[in-house]
Structure 1
C-alpha cells in the first residue's frame, strides 16, 4: 500500500534532510575549529621565538635539555585536550539535537504519515461497509426472510468486484447464515471459536468495529474485517454486514516504512492486542501487556487518547523510545519506536572518523611544533654561547668547554693551553674614530684569529677588547698560533697591536687557576711595553717580541 498523503511524505523527507544538514554543519564546524587550531600554531611559534630570545640565553645555564621535552609534552597535552573537548562537545551536541529532532519532528511526521495512510486505505472500506449497512436492498431482502439466495450473492459479488475487496459478507441474525459472493459459507454458532466474533460484536452494542481474523471463505487469509450492524427503521437487529481487507498489504506497508525510516511500527487495538505488524506471527497473538519492556508503558499508551504519548522503556539492554497516537476512526493505536543505541551508532561512527582526523591533525601539529621548537632551540643554543658582535664563542661557552678539556687532559695525558689576547690602544681607536669603527676592528680580529686556530681550538671573546684561545696543544703549538695571528693582524690592522699571555695547564690546574695564569701572563706583556707575547710556565715568565 502506498500513502495517499503526499504532504506527509514531503514532511518526513524534509525532516530527514534537516537531520543530515545538522550532522554536516556539526562535523564541518568541528573541522573548522581543528583547522583554526592548526593555523594558530604558526603564530604561536613566532611568539615563542620573540618571548624566548632573551630567556633562553640563561636557559642553557640553569635548565636541563629535558625542559624542551616538557614544553612539547605540555603543548601535546593542550592539543589533545582541545581536540578531545571539541569532539566530545560535537558528539553531545549532535546526539542531543538528534534526540530532539526525532522526538519533535521525525517520529510525529512518520506517525502522521502512517496515520494518514491507514485512514486513506481503511476509510473507503469503512464507507463501503457503512453503505451496505444502510442499503435498503439488504434490509428488504432480510425482512423478506431471506428470499432468493442468488439475489444476495449477486449483490455481494457486485460490490466485491467493484471495489476489489478480499471479502464481502452478510450474516443473517434470524438464520445465522453466513453469506458471501459464492453463496452460503456456513451457519455460525456460539460454540465455534471462529464464529465468536459475531456474538462478541453484538454484545458491545457498537455500530461498527474492526476485527482481525482469518477468512475461511478466502483460504484462511489474515484479514481486517470491517463489521457493521444491519438494522431496520425500527432499530431491530437484522444481522451484520461488512467487507474484509487482506492483512498482508498492511504488513508489507509497515515493513516498507520500517526499512525506509529504521523504526519499528505496529498497530494495537484498545485492549493492547497487536493488530498489524511486520511480523505476521505477532498479529492477534501478542499483547503489549505481556511483552518484556513494552509492558511497562502499555497502560500509558492505551490511556493516551487525547494527545500522543511519548515514552521510553528498556528491553534486552536497549533503550527504546516510542510514540503512540490514537486513531478514533478505527479505535486502534499506531505505535512507532526506535532503538536509541542504534540511532546513535551513526553519530558514534562520525565521532570515530573525527577522532582519526583529529589524531592525524594532532600528529602533524605536534611534528610541526617539534621541528619549530628544535629549530629555535638550536638557534637559541647558538645565541646563548655566541658573542653577538663578533660571532665567536662567549664566556658561557668557555665555562662549558674548559672544564671538559681539562678533564680530557687528565684522562688522556694531553695538553691544554690558554692564549689571552688584548688589543692594545683599542680605546683610543674608539675615542678617535667612534664605536662603529671600533666594532669593525673587533670583528676583523675575530675573523683573522678564527682562520689561524685549529678546528678543535676555541676562540672566545673574553670581554671588551680581550679574546681567549683554548687549545689542546702544548707551548710550542700555542706560540705558533700566537705568532701567526700577530702576523696576519699586523698586515690588516695597524692602529692596534696585540698583547698576548700564554699559560699551559699542569696536573693541579682547574679552570680558575689556569685562567689566573693566563691573566698574569697578559699583565706581564702589557707591563712590558705591549705588543708582546708572554708565556707563564712552571711559574717562570718567558717573553717573546
Structure 2
C-alpha cells in the first residue's frame, strides 16, 4: 500500500474524531446552560455535586474488578493446577498458598474447591467436603455447570463466622480444558457498607441496594431511605411501593416520587453480577432542572466517548497488525522472515528447555539458484520461490517452524525431533525437491537443495545453534550440493 492513501486515511480519521468530540462537548455545554438558566436564581449551580448512579456504579465496579483479577490469576496459576493434577498430596501447600494470596492482596477470604476430592480448602485449612445435596454447596455445582468462567455471588462465609461476603467464584480447568475445581477470593460486605457510608457523606445522597423482589439488601450503617433496614420491602416505604412493579424485569433509569411533600429524584442501576439494583436517592426541588440537564449531558458525553474509543481502538488495532505483519513476514513467500524467526525460535528454545525435549535446526539452500534468475529472469525465480515455500510448508507439521532466511535460503526448527528423525525428514525433503518440476511460462524448471542439520544442546544459545547448522550447510555445498550434512 502506498503512503499517500495511508496519510489520507489517518487525516480523515482525525477529522472525524475531532468533529465528534466538538459536537459532543458543544451539545452538552448548551444543554447544561439552558437547564441551569431556569435555576440560576437559586445560586446553587456551583455547589451541585457531580454524583450520579453511573459514578457510584463505576466506583463499586472498581472495587469488584480487583478481586475478579485476583481470582482469575488464581484460576490460571500453574502451581494450583499442578498441585491438583499431582493428586493433592500436601494439604499444607494449598493452605499456605491461599493464605499468601489472602494476605498479599488484602482479601477477606480465599478458597479452592477440588472437583476430584470435593474438598473445600481455605486459608485456615480444610473447611469441609462439598455435597450436591447440601444447600450451602449449591453455588459450587452451579459454577461447575455454567458456561461462563466466573460468577459473583453474595453468600455467608462459613470460615468467618457466617459473615455476609461477596464471593468471586472462578472455574479452574486443567491444561486440556477439563474442569478441576473452583477458586477465588471474597470481599466482606462490611467493606462495601463503609464505601456506601463514604458515598453518602461525600455526596449527601442516600445510596442502597435492592434485590429483584423489592427487598433492601444492603445499606449504609445508618440504614436506608427514611431509616429502613436490610430486609425491609419497598412496599413499606412511602412513595416507593410503585417501584415493585418495575423491578422483576432488570432495567435501569431515572424515577421520581413524593414523600411527605418532598420531591425525590431516584437513579436506579441494575447490576447483573449481583442481581441487585443500585438506588441513588436525592431530594431537592430547586435542583431538579439542573440535575435533568446534567444527566442528559453525561449520557451524551458517555455516548461520544464510547464512539471515540471504539474508533481509536479499531484504528490502533489495524495499524498494529499491519506493522507487525510488515516487520515479521516475508512479502514474497508469506513466511516469517528473520525477525519473525528470532521471536519464534526463542519461544521454541524456552519450550525445549522447559520440557527437556529435542530440537533440531535445518538450513536449506536452493542450489545454483542464481542461474534461474540469470537465465529466466527474476520473476521466474520469484515464482519458483513461492511455489517451493508452499510445498515445503505442506510437508511439515503444524508445530514445525519454517522461515525464509534470505535469498534462496530457508530455515526449519523441528520440535520434539531428535537428530536421526530430523535427518530422515531432511533427506526426504531433499529427494522431493529434486523430483519437483516447476512449469514457468513455456519452460519446466528444476532445482535441487543442500541441507545442513544440527541438534540443539541444552543450554546452547540460538546463535551457537545456527552457527553449527550453517557450517553443516557449508559442508553440504562443498561436498557437491544436493545432499544433507549433519553437524555433530
Q: TM-score range by the shorter chain?
A: 0.3 to 0.5
TM-score by length of 1: 0.39
TM-score by length of 2: 0.44
Larger radius of gyration: 1
